[in-house]
Amino acid sequence: MMKKRTRKVAELDDPLCCCEYVNRHGGRSHMAACCCDCEDLDEACDRWMKREPQNPDSLSRMAATVTDRLRVPWISGAKKVDLSLIPPLFLLPVFLHIAALHYLLGIVVLAALPVMVLWYYYFTHRKKGRTLFFLSLALFSLFYMYYVFLTEVVPRGDVTNLQLGVITLGVALTLAALLHTKKGPGYVKPSPADTHSTVTYHSLPPDVDPAYHNGSQHQVVIASRAGPGEQGAEPRAVAGDVTENDSSKRNWCSFCKLVRPPRAGHCRICCTCVLRLDHHCVWINSCVGQANHCSFLLTLLFFLVTSLYGISLVLRSVCPTQSLLTALLYCPDVYGQFSSALCFTCAWYSSIVTGGLLHLLVLQLINISYNVTEREARVALREKTGRSLIWGLIIDTGVYSRGFRANWSEFLTMAANVDPKALKPTDLV
Ligand SMILES: [Zn+2]
Ligand SMILES: [Zn+2]
């Protein structure tokens, strides 16, 4: 039986080399030792040799150890490779190549792909699990579409250098905006002065219904970050003011043990409170909040313009006899040649993605125009407190809206008001 040789990471002065990492038990391990020291494997072998029944947990513990040891060297210590990154890298090209073989296969695959992705989305969303699958799919789709454009469409000779330059610029701008979005949504930081201090609002916190208040100045006592003895403690309010008590209760996050500013929300996937939380976007694997909502919208816009332009160039090349609007639905002889069939299939795939994102963009533009976040719209629908127009497409809570122009100017400038301390750098993925 091999002895466990991991050293506890107490020596902070001794930084990790590029092949070392802190394992799931908090010990220090080396990538080269990936096949050593697995107590669970040793135990399973022992039991197997002694013909004893296996421990039901040992298989899942072994799987956890394997995923913990799957690493790539990195400057500040070996980085864990998330297995959910990998399926899109081979599934997408395989599915698109199958779809390009025959138009019937194309219909089946292109109808099944969104259904499978949506099913996986609801499956992971229900478990509130963090996965890199969607970010990997989004990024790889972008790169793969650009690759097919370069290797299959450009050699056909119908695309000018200027058009290729515009597509390349569009892809670069989308990635730059995405990187900016990934800098973080702006997190709620507990203030050191939170210890039962009294703060004075000179105007009503917007989460509080103004109908309950007559004065323009009132006080709320902010709760301390609960110490070990007062886990789950609720904030205390000024005696006699029931509504303020309700308001601070409503803004109290029992997970982060802090009182959130108005409009902030707790993301159960990121396990943190986010300033002016809009929603958690699985496609970027990050929350969209006060600091990155604007760049999120810009990422969507750059992608959609590039994608629509790319689709039009592809269809003009593979289906020159048809008008752009009909080419996607009827393009004779496109399946006669595999290369043109692949381009056509990719144009269809891009159209499905573009359609989905266009829907998201429209909802976002409406929400911003009414100064409502996705989270507030959901709460208003659930609690029936908002005004629902056009079959729920528009949810107007009426709490923050100050008119179309003021709402947009607030949206465009709100990122600048985020305290730099609230922007902790997030992982690139
Ligand atoms: Zn929280
Ligand atoms: Zn989140």
Q: Give me ligand 1 centre to Cα 268, in Å.
A: 8
Q: Which ligand is nearest to the CA of 292?
A: 2
How far CA 391 is from CA of 381, 394, 395, in Å, comes to: 12, 8, 9
| Residue positions annotated with a catalytic role | 281
**346 and 373 in one domain?**
yes
Last residue of a domain, one of 50, 81, 112: 81
* Nearest ligand, measured from the Cα of 268: 2
Q: Residues of the chain whose pLDDT is less than 70?
A: 1-13, 19, 24-25, 30-41, 56-64, 66-67, 191-250, 386-393, 421-429
Centre of ligand 2 to C-alpha 373, Å, is 14
Does the residue 282 lie in any domain? Answer: no
Q: Is residue 386 part of a domain?
A: yes
CA of 102 to the centre of ligand 2 (A): 40
CA of 121 to the centre of ligand 2 (A): 14
Q: In angstroms, what is the span from residue 229 Cα to ligand 2's centroid?
A: 29
pLDDT at residue 222, rounded to an integer: 37
Say if 425 falls within a structural domain: no
Residues 309 and 387 in one domain: yes
Q: Are 294 and 394 contained in the same domain?
A: yes
Domain's final residue, options 63, 81, 99: 81
For 300-318, write each residue's pLDDT tens digit.
999 999 999 999 999 999 9
Integer Cα distance of 143 and 68 in angstroms: 28
Domain count of the chain?
3
405 and 294 inside one domain: yes
Same domain, 91 and 214: no
Asked whether residue 175 is domain-assigned, the answer is: yes
In a shared domain, residues 141 and 244: no
- Domain for residue 267, yes or no? no
- Are 108 and 196 members of one domain? no
Tell me how far apart the alpha carbons of residues 429 and 426 are, in angstroms, rounded to a whole number: 8
Q: What's residue 195's pLDDT? A: 46
Tell me the per-residue pLDDT of 258-282, one tens digit each, with 9 for 90 and over. 888 888 999 988 889 999 999 999 8
| Distance from residue 340's CA to the centre of ligand 1 (Å) | 51
**Judgement on whether residues 299 and 161 belong to the same structural domain of the protein:** yes
The predicted pLDDT at position 130 comes to 78
In a domain, 270, yes or no: no
Does residue 274 lie within any of the structural domains?
no
Same domain, 70 and 122: no
Distance 251 CA to ligand 1 centre (A): 10
Q: Within this chain, do residues 299 and 150 fall inside the same structural domain, yes or no?
A: yes
Domain shared by 77 and 89, yes or no: no
CA of residue 199 to ligand 1 center, whole Å: 20
Are 54 and 160 found together in one domain?
no
429 inside domain? no
Domain boundary among 31, 50, 81: 81
Structural domain boundaries, residue 238: 192-259
Ligand number nearest to the C-alpha of 286: 2
The pTM assigned to this predicted structure is 0.73
